[in-house]
Amino acid sequence: MDVTTDHIRDKLIKEIGAIHVEVEDTSSNRCAASFKVLVVSPQFEGKPLLARHRMVNTCLADELKEIHAFEQKTLTPEQWEKQKAQ
């Protein structure tokens, strides 16, 4: 499987109902596939950070088998709006 930024973005939008996704391929800094993501989804409302990360990890379970390093930030729409306002 060839994991790309577009593939990750599309899957998170489709499966977690993300309203905003940023995916950065950081592989050039490492020896293997590496990505950094920001995911904003209303499905994160009322969930602790660990539950949010588990949702993302479950969504990308097959892809994570091919990825060496994966950094994620998960926000609710309200948190995203507050962060953009800063």
Average pLDDT over residues 2-8: 92
| Class level of CATH domain 5-78 | alpha beta
Q: Is the pLDDT confidence value at 32 over 90? A: no
Q: Is the pLDDT confidence value at 29 over 70? A: no
Q: Is the pLDDT confidence value at 16 over 80? A: yes
pTM of the model: 0.91
Beta bridge partner(s), residue 6:
none
What is the strand order of the sheet 69-75 is part of?
A: 20-25, 34-40, 69-75
* Domain layout of the chain by residue ranges: 5-78
